[in-house]
A and B are shown apart, each in its own frame.
Chain A
Amino acid sequence: MSVLAPPEAPPRTGTRTRRREDTRLLCGEGEYLGDVQRPDLKHVAILRSPLAHARIRDVDVSGAMTLPGVIGVFTGAELAVETGEFSHHLPMIPTLRQITWSVLATDKVRFVGEPVAAVVADSRYIAEDALELIEVDYEELPAVSDAEAGLEAEAPLLYEDWGDNVFLYMPGAHGDVEAAFANADGVLQERFTHHRISGLPMEGHGALGEFDPASGRLEMYVSTQVPHTLRTVISDITGLSEARVRVVAPDMGGGFGNKAHFMREEVLVAVLAMRVRHPVVWQQDRTENLLSGLHSREQSHEVEVAYRDDGRVLGLRADFVVDVGSPELYILGCAPAIVTTSVVPNCYDLADYAFEMRCVATNKCPMGGYRGYGQPQGIFLMERVLDLVGERLGIDPVTMRRLNMIPDEPRPYVTATGAVLDTGSFGEQLTELLEAAGYDAACEAREVARSQGRLVGVGIAQMVEPTAPNIHALAGRFGGYEMAMLTVQPDGRVNVAVGTKSQGQGHETIFAKVAAEVLGISPDDVEVTDGDTAALPYGTGTWGSRSAVMGGGAVIKAARQVRDKMAAIAAGMLEAPPDQIETADGFFRLGEAAIPFGQIAAAAYLHTFLLPPGMDPGLSVVVGYDPGNTSPFPDERGKLNVAATYSTAAAAAVVEVTEATGVVTVHDLTIVHDCGTVIDNVILDGQIHGAVAQAVGQTFFEEICYDENGQPQTSTLLDYMIPTFGDAVRPRIVHRETPSELLGGFRGAGEGAIIVTPAVLAAAVHDAVAPLGVAITQSNLSPPRLRALLRGRPAG
């Protein structure tokens, strides 16, 4: 046995390393969907409804069929004959309307942009030319352009057989709300509104499908966060066996939750590939993305809050009205709103909480998931309530939060809605925030600025985020476990395959570090593959801040199993018990004796005569990982612990409002963030910076607009404004690390900053304009919207 000096210690989790995927991605060598080439590739263009609500009387494709270069033109009615349907797969929710829909509209269109027909042609140019030759005879119907209009008695009906437009009705009652109001010194009534936005991944949705008739196999390249579950859906609808479908998610230009749904067009591409027997590709262009990608966030909340004069909030009633647009989206577009209702208690001791929610179908683009997934609205509600109650009582925001905060003990703490919180101390986190932000000094500076007539405001907000969810009751068949495959090759290099999918978050880097730390080798020796159903039996993808927690946990579990086998081999070679073998720095050690990692790997595959008697050759495992502490379905009282663990954050902001124009300048933003064990600080900081940029966009720039006929007003990036580099706000970031009980101690990151930032910006803007008598109760603080509030303020 050779005994060598140990190499330099490999980088551990928690350190700053260069993202290994960046060289490829930043040098233009990534392989995105648009880079995937096939000989004889044909192009799909989709005819979309120009009307918000209409019956389809007839679709005439004869003109389009004759255009040179056109391979085929397909209508919804034609494809429906041999193709299955989508549904939400949620029969267990009795108050959810059970609907089915097809890859293309068949009888009715319900939003501008809904797919009606598809052309396959030699080029996208020809395909788009052909779209203009398709004649659709529509019977236009009156449109429902927002949820409130949809609830009116005489509203047009999206689905005549429903009798109304309520897609989902969901009540909830926790504790004794009547008693809370009976004991209250005062009641606050308020209405909060959240505007419609889009997650807007730089790369839109898209899919390439190739069907081999000889083998009966279908290969799909899809820009999706959920390749395995998409495979199940494609299999369902096409009728192909899952064993014959491979889904690959190549490099992705973002997803942000928009790509955690199963798009009609993705399955359409599969169907077309099987029909035309050419490989076909469809890539959503920007206008398609804005019209028919996904929208998010639009909700209104009527709340009543019972409070005591000492600042304690006793109980809360809320009426949530959610504009879900067309409900024809799988996974359920109401799911974020259900999450909104569940996170309202936030990190506060609020036992008595009751709500009703109505998700209203309207003639707009389907609502779906976007980073934050309903939580920004729920957190906004509670944080605004604390400030508004405090304002009435003359109690400052910090005191209001300390008065109502969940105490440090016990852990876990079970909230009103059933969340089993395993977090660190909220009080200590707040103290750390106030120090990091220089809160007291900021408040003093605000007073000076006010005395000079400037509208400067300071705000704080907190959040607790359920991460790594297992939301079987919302997700329609798909739970929240994860899988990983880990193989040590004969040369000692390692392959890891995971069921999560990086959309730019640096998963190659973090999973390599996680595996390497367990195996005691360098991350440079670990190759990570994700987004390929051929590389791993199953996985549930990347969403819900779950990748580190669930994917990382699965990788640790797999690495430990392989390491233990290798330790057993080493023990045999060193003639010692396996539990005395240590793994570190690329060696298996027993005292002074050490065997290189690669030598054990070679023994497992090549020098198998060295293996202990009875041991199978090879070093490869596939593991499934489910911490098992979530409730896939609510209990009889509607309580549900959706998350394997919880992350927390607290934020402070200093802003200044220009009264004449409504422009808000963010002078300072500080975020204290606790996602448990940190794997890589650079990547984590990047997650927070990106989330803040999106929150700034949501608050000050972005708004999807429709007119009263359901016609979209924001179909290009000239009209839908996202922040540019110069508009991004650079936060100060403080990491607390309270490890969770789960493998690796991770809590999950990626969404916390986008959940807390809209609330803290609203708090600060509220504080800035408070001297004018204006209250901030809406998420949209764009210059024209804020100016409208200032203009409409009460006289005097």
Chain B
Amino acid sequence: MKPPRFDYVAPASVAETIEALAGTTEARILAGGQSLVPLMNLRLARPTLLVDVNRVADLAGFETRNGTLRFGAMCRHRFLETDPLVRREAPIVAKTAGMIGHVHIRNRGTLGGSIAHADPVAEFPALLVALGGRVIAGSTGGERAIPAAELFAGPFTTSLEPEELLSAVEVPAHTPGDGGGFAEFARRHGDFATAGVVVILHRDGSGACVRLRAAGCGLGPTPVDLSAAGEFLLGESALSAGAAAELGRRTAALADPPGDVHGSKEYRRELAAVLAADAVRTAWQRAGSTGWGAGD
């Protein structure tokens, strides 16, 4: 369980990083290393060049700009989970970060790394889809934005080009009446979820649900957009237990999850139903309270 030989560079800037990536098609970005390094040890990932971006200051941090929240790709999960500003401006991001792994993993793991790795059971890719966010990718050819809907191509596969650096993640800023809930099922604390469902909705001044988006992890080869399951809730002012269960049923019907050692297709569908109902209840309640329920 030792990796094959590879080269290593540690650039100090985005420009240097992009330059390093341009030199070979077999380069991989080393961010938190929580997924890549084990894969290298198993020789399942075989980069010839590791580009360590841990020293690139431009990739850290978080800002709000014109109704958009922009996160540097190197935001660590633990930062997102605990930073007071993130907790206030993007509570669902903070909540989701706290669901990942254990503290030690969150101290290293990064938002951009998780999204670029595109593990179909990871939380952040599903959250990005549910929020309708996008990523910013840079290369020697310039910068482009890739919407979440066009980013995830398959298990561990994105539409990022080999020479592109995922530099930032953008999601719409929240507004009063927004609410998000992420429910997942993991056999053990800190594990990747067997399945998870995130629901993001908006309730207007009258309490009626006017927007609802949902996505799932562990329910397909990529994060799955499950928003269609929730269309029947648009215009509703109350969420009955029956309506939450109905969302669960529709979500299960919409999902086409894989079966593996952690759960059969059928089991994951059953989980999807339970989790969607759970997530929508949380989102609904948070949307009805002030903010996104950041304090709870």
Contact = CB atoms under 8 A, between A and B. Distances in A.
Nearest to A790: B270
Contacts of B192: 718
Contacts of B4: 128-129, 132
B187 A701 contact: yes
Contacts of A718: 192
A705 interface: yes
B2 A787 contact: no
Interface stretch (A138-146, A348-356, A568-576, A723-731): A723-731
Which 7 A-B residue pairings sit nearest by Cβ, starting from the closest? A285-B1, A125-B2, A784-B263, A784-B267, A660-B274, A705-B261, A128-B2
Interface residues on A, range: 20 to 34
Contacts of A183: none
Given A287-B1, A714-B261, A788-B264, A661 B189 contact: no
B55 interface: no
Interface string A100-136: 0000000000000000000000001100110010000
Contacts of A531: none
A128 B271 CA distance: 41
A726 B189 contact: yes
A408 interface: no
Contact of B188 (A285, A661, A726, A784): A726
B262 interface: yes
Given A287-B42, A788-B264, A701 B188 contact: yes
Interface in A757-796: 782-784, 787-788, 791
A721 interface: yes
Interface in B157-189: 185, 187-189
Given A129-B4, A787-B270, A791-B270, A721 B187 contact: yes
Nearest to B259: A784
11 contacts: A125-B2, A287-B42, A660-B270, A661-B274, A701-B188, A719-B260, A721-B187, A723-B188, A727-B188, A783-B267, A788-B267
A716 interface: yes
A316 to B, nearest CB: 34
Interface string B244-273: 000000000000000011111011001100
B261 to A, nearest CB: 5
Nearest to B266: A791
B219 to A, nearest CB: 15
A522 B38 CA distance: 49
Interface centre among B2, B42, B271, by most A CB within 10 Å?
B2
A124 B188 contact: no
Contact of B261 (A125, A286, A661, A703): A703
Given A125-B3, A125-B5, 17 more contacts: A124-B2, A285-B1, A660-B270, A661-B185, A661-B271, A662-B267, A701-B188, A703-B261, A718-B192, A721-B191, A721-B262, A726-B189, A784-B262, A784-B263, A788-B264, A791-B266, A791-B270
Interface residues of B, number: 26
Main secondary structure on B side of the interface with A:
loop
A783 B186 CA distance: 10
B190 interface: yes
A721 B2 contact: no
B262 A719 contact: yes
Contacts of A125: 2-3, 5
B187 A783 contact: yes
B188 A724 contact: yes
Contacts of A787: 267, 270
Contact of A713 (B1, B38, B261, B267): B261
Contacts of B191: 721
Contact of B42 (A703, A705, A716, A726): A716
A726 B187 CA distance: 11
B214 to A, nearest CB: 19
A718 B41 CA distance: 14
Given A129-B4, A661-B274, A787-B270, A721 B264 contact: no
Interface string B57-95: 000000000000000000000000000000000000000
A124 B189 CA distance: 33
A577 B37 CA distance: 73
B194 to A, nearest CB: 8
B38 to A, nearest CB: 8
Contacts of A660: 270, 274
Contacts of A128: 1-2, 4, 43
B190 A724 contact: yes
Interface string B144-155: 000000000000
A660 B245 CA distance: 12
Interface centre among A660, A662, A713, A716, by most B CB within 10 Å?
A660
A285 B260 CA distance: 24
Contacts of B264: 784, 788
Contacts of A132: 4, 43
Interface centre among B4, B192, B267, by most A CB within 10 Å?
B267
B87 to A, nearest CB: 25
A701 B189 CA distance: 12
A784 B185 CA distance: 12
Interface centre among A661, A713, A718, A727, by most B CB within 10 Å?
A661
Contact of A724 (B3, B43, B189): B189
Contacts of A723: 188
A787 B262 CA distance: 12
A718 B270 CA distance: 22
A755 B201 CA distance: 51
Interface string B122-142: 000000000000000000000
A124 to B, nearest CB: 5
Interface string A716-747: 10110101101100000000000000000000
Contacts of A716: 38, 42
Given A128-B2, A718-B192, A724-B188, A713 B274 contact: no
Nearest to A131: B43
Contacts of A714: 261
A721 B194 CA distance: 12
Contacts of A726: 188-189
Nearest to A125: B2
A547 B5 CA distance: 46
Nearest to B277: A660
A607 B84 CA distance: 78
Contacts of A783: 187, 263, 267
Given A125-B2, A286-B1, A705-B261, A721 B266 contact: no
Interface in A53-108: none
Interface centre among B42, B187, B270, B274, by most A CB within 10 Å?
B187
A791 B263 CA distance: 14
Contacts of B189: 724, 726-727
Nearest to A722: B188
A662 B264 CA distance: 13
Contacts of A703: 261
Contacts of B3: 125
A719 B187 contact: no
Contacts of B263: 783-784
B138 to A, nearest CB: 32
A353 B187 CA distance: 40
Nearest to A723: B188
A163 B191 CA distance: 46
A660 B273 CA distance: 9
A281 to B, nearest CB: 14
B233 to A, nearest CB: 21
Contacts of A782: 187
